[in-house]
Amino acid sequence: MGSKVFHTLLSAAARCPQALFGCCYSGLRASSWSSGSRRLMSNGDSSMNVFDRRMKRRQRDWSAKQQDSHLYDYLRDEVGTRLADRVYDVARTFPLALDVGSGKSHIAPHLSKEVVERFYLADISEPVLRRKKEGEIPTHCVVADEEFLPFGENTFDLVVSSLSIHWINNLPEAFKQIHQVLKPDGVFIGAMLGGDTLYELRCSLQLAETEREGGFSPHVSPYTSVSDLGHLLRQAGFNMLTVDVDDVVVHYPGMFEVMTDLQGMAESNCLWNRRALLHRDTMLAAAAVYKDMYSNEDGSVPATFEILYMIGWKPHESQSQPAKRGTATASFGDLSKLNRPTTNQKDKS
Amino acid sequence: MSGSNVWSRTREKLRLFPELFAQCAEEGAVYGKCVTATTTGRQELKKDLCAKEFEALKSCFTNAPIRD
């Protein structure tokens, strides 16, 4: 996949990184999450509680109330336009659509009334919804947790979700709920951060924390990989899946600006087992390591956001089914005879 | 929270971080190379392996002049 590169040199806004790392002290220990992969748990595993959702809501509330919150929307806007493109690719009109974890609504402003007639926006944070961007389509806001959608079965023709489901604790259950609120032959088009997102930040912090403090704790969330995502969607009952990956690399002056922007985007750490503090020494050390390991020629450093796009359909009789066994009309053995001219072939001359 | 408190004061100090860090590019590069050498070499990264380089970086950082 081609990677789109932004050159964004933002001036360092005054943000305290201490706010990045919450209020649950968990002590120093090498965490199993540091490998960065999210384990695929079996159905009905209610002990899947990785993220502090209340903290996430507070982070979103805070970021929405900042004066310059629009400065941090660039990533969400970009992913929103790409998701809107995918919605346009589906040659249908959707009477009713839902945006799960909508934030300030980054998808609806890019769509027209011919594609979607009515839009519902659901997010856990009320201040964020109050600052939603207006577009052509009439929108209704619902304050709801992505894991507990308050909608009836077979309600929506289209469900979209942009850059919010990577904070969901029980992802299999959330996909099942999305599947439920969809009408048959409805489609779910989503985007989430996955795989190698922010690996530069994760590695720098890990090395610096080990050298300075003798151990490390998780600072970057565990992300879902592409293969796991396919399994999850299929388990939830979606059909005709399409999953693809896109890398967005954003360049910053340094590690501090990366963290500042992540905080401004409300993408700060909210793992339960996060540490309360990041020592200034460790931050200084990590910035030096980040610069040494990953910097570009002009001194700026990249931060990778790996975005997984997914499209899944709720089953319906009109959808194409796999052909039955024994209905083949040609054999693979015929392939070798294609190039050789034979008297049996019909000659159009 | 209004007025001057520990959070606003800390925030003010941390706002200067990138500027001061930019002035210590050399020491930062030396420390960075020391740490990243462990990722390729046989030596495992332990606490205070690059303590000397870090002390140099830290003293440059704390003594860097604030130009504003």
Best of B7, B8, B31 to substitute, by most chain A Cβ atoms within 10 angstroms, is B31
DSSP assignment of A128-176? HHHTPPP-SS-EEEEE--TTS----TT-EEEEEEES-GGG-S-HHHHHH
CB contact under 8 A, A257 and B18: yes
**pLDDT for the residue A336:** 80
**pLDDT for the residue B68:** 58
Best of A10, A211, A257 to substitute, by most chain B Cβ atoms within 10 angstroms, is A211
Cα separation of B21 and A284, whole Å? 8
Best of B14, B20, B46 to substitute, by most chain A Cβ atoms within 10 angstroms, is B14
Query: CATH homologous superfamily for A50-199+218-282+293-315?
Result: Vaccinia Virus protein VP39 (3.40.50.150)
Confidence bin at B32 (pLDDT 50/70/90) = very high
- Per the domain annotation, does B10 fall within a domain? no
- CB contacts < 8 A, A to B, total 88
**Total domains, chain B:** 1
Q: Which domain holds residue B68?
A: 18-68
Within 8 A by CB and 6+ apart from A218, the residues are: A31, A33, A34, A269, A271, A273, A274
DSSP B36: H
- Per the domain annotation, does B2 fall within a domain? no
Domain regions of chain A by residue span: 50-199+218-282+293-315
Instruction: Kindly give the pairing relationship between strand A301-313 and strand A239-252.
Output: antiparallel
Residue of B nearest to A252 (CA): B18
pLDDT tens figures, A320-342: 777 888 888 888 888 887 776 65
Within 8 A by CB and 6+ apart from A9, the residues are: A251, A252, A253, A300
Cα separation of A344 and A107, whole Å? 57
> B-chain residues within 8 Å CB-CB of A12?
15, 17-19
CB contact under 8 A, B21 and A287: yes
End-to-end CA distance of chain A: 43
**Prediction ipTM score:** 0.91
Q: Where are the alpha helices (DSSP H) in chain A?
A: 53-65, 74-89, 126-130, 171-181, 199-213, 226-236, 255-264, 280-294
Those residues of chain A that have pLDDT short of 70 are: 1-47, 340-349
> Mind telling me how many Å the CA of B30 is from chain A's nearest CA?
9
**pLDDT for the residue A36:** 43
Cα separation of A133 and A123, whole Å? 14
